[in-house]
Amino acid sequence: MAKKVLKFGGTSVGTTERIQLVAKIIKKERSSGNKIIAVVSAMSGKTNELIGLSEKISDDFNRRELDVLLSSGEQVTCALLSGALTKLDIKAKSWLNWQIPIITEGDHANARIINMNIEKINNYLDEEGVAIIPGFQGISKNGDITTIGRGGSDATAVAVAKIFNADSCEIYTDVDGVFSTDPNKIPVAKKIDKISYNEMLELSSLGAKVMQSSAVQTAMIYNVPLEVKSTFTDRKGTKIFSQENIDYTKSVTGVAYSKNDAKITIIGVEDRPGVAANIFEPLSKAQINVDMVIQNISSDQKTTDITFTIKRDDVIKTKKILKNNKKIEYQEIIQNEKVAKVSIVGAGMVSTPGVTYRMFRALSDEKINILAISTSEIKLSVIIDEVNTLKAIKKLHTIFELD
């Protein structure tokens, strides 16, 4: 008998039929004798619908009230799932953010869960009841409803698993698990059975969006074992835990890519201490997410060229900020809006020589020009022309024996 946190995302509870399917999954887990806490998202489309209503009223809607508004979405799912379980003769009860309570700190729309009262729910689990908790929300110390920013319902599930000391945290979603690359693009993509938190982080932030990165981070910090699996099939999912528990037979675990990237190069920036900070501080303040940064020495050794990548939507805003930046001097800004980032990810890379070389050779064989390179312990990323993305992924997937 285990204590399990099961989290069901928006598509998993998107219709009443799907909520009834989720109730059956929970019934099966209960029938195996497990203690179950279910964390649920709003029905798919619901949160956007509510945001749409708020935007009709104001493009700068009161943040406290936006959280009151949005939190109603998960409340609806909690009630419907609880009703569906009762219908299947499973004892169940919804516990809203204030009924537990889930205590958060931080700003509206960007709060973090810091504590929960576990006694009442633990008693209820002992009485064989299923506790249903809304994801994505809590209350502040002064009793306002707050929604948690990054991570959403995944972060709630991880926090619940940690605070209730659960044996596992299972993230039910609309895909079978984490894949070696995007299965919609590369049919030979394979589901990964086991992956480390670190690899998962690299893969999810790069496009394999099966789980929110910040929730994976929290799980890593508190060593909460995760499993990502499909609501709609019985197949085994992907288990995510710490690196030391995984035997690596392959150097590369997966090939990730990100779309909608743009590359900006500032030519002839004065080469002195503090110049990078002067460039990137105003971008950060404007919420522009700068991804890769590469700096080359320039030929005259007094100036340098700085290249970085951003989301394509941010190009105009970024150029405006650079042009208005009085603290930097440069010759020219050039941009390339049609680039993609392709990365190989694997905790086994560090102990396998030649991975870098094999990647560059493979791309060269395909006549793909590398525009920029960035490396980390478990990841090797290149920026290439967007048009070459699919060809690059296919080649890398094959040469690193992932097909």
> Counting contacts by CB under 8 A, is residue 320 touching a copy of itself?
no
* Among the listed residues 302, 376, 369, 295, the one whose alpha carbon sits nearest the alpha carbon of residue 339: 369
> Counting contacts by CB under 8 A, is residue 94 touching a copy of itself?
yes
Q: Which of 6, 38, 69, 163 binds a copy of itself (CB under 8 A)?
A: 69
> Counting contacts by CB under 8 A, is residue 78 touching a copy of itself?
yes
* Among the listed residues 261, 290, 252, 260, the one whose alpha carbon sits nearest the alpha carbon of residue 393: 252
Q: Where are the alpha helices (DSSP H) in 35-142?
A: 46-57, 63-87, 119-126
The residue range among 76-84, 193-201, 266-274, 279-287 that interacts with a copy of itself, by the rule CB under 8 A, is: 76-84
Q: Which of 44, 51, 72, 366 binds a copy of itself (CB under 8 A)?
A: 72
The DSSP secondary-structure symbol of 62 reads -
> Counting contacts by CB under 8 A, is residue 118 touching a copy of itself?
no
- Cβ-Cβ contacts under 8 Å for 106 (sequence gap 6 or more): 112, 146, 149
> Counting contacts by CB under 8 A, is residue 57 touching a copy of itself?
yes
In whole angstroms, the minimum distance from the beta carbon of 85 to a copy of itself comes to 8
CB 266, CB 318: distance < 8 Å: no
Q: Which of 11, 47, 82, 212 binds a copy of itself (CB under 8 A)?
A: 82
Q: Which of 31, 56, 127, 332 binds a copy of itself (CB under 8 A)?
A: 56
Q: Which of 76, 276, 294, 373 binds a copy of itself (CB under 8 A)?
A: 76
Amino acid at 329: E
Q: Which of 87, 150, 209, 361 binds a copy of itself (CB under 8 A)?
A: 87
β-bridge partners, 376 = 379
> Counting contacts by CB under 8 A, is residue 350 touching a copy of itself?
no
> Counting contacts by CB under 8 A, is residue 64 touching a copy of itself?
yes
- In angstroms, rounded to a whole number, what is the distance separating the alpha carbons of residues 74 and 65? 16
The residue range among 72-80, 183-191, 201-209, 327-335 that interacts with a copy of itself, by the rule CB under 8 A, is: 72-80
> Counting contacts by CB under 8 A, is residue 145 touching a copy of itself?
yes
Residue with tokens 């929290």: 218
Structure tokens of 361?
Answer: 């050779």
Sheet of 379-385, strands arranged across:
293-297, 303-311, 254-270, 332-345, 379-385, 370-376
Q: What is the DSSP code string of 193-227?
A: SEEEHHHHHHHHHTT--SS-HHHHHHHHHHT--EE
Q: Which of 16, 48, 233, 369 binds a copy of itself (CB under 8 A)?
A: 16
Q: What is the DSSP code string of 142-166?
A: TS-EEEB-TTHHHHHHHHHHHHTT-
Which residues of the chain form contacts with a copy of itself (CB under 8 A)?
16-17, 19-20, 50, 53-54, 56-58, 60-62, 64-66, 68-69, 71-72, 75-76, 78-80, 82-84, 86-87, 93-94, 96, 98-99, 143, 145
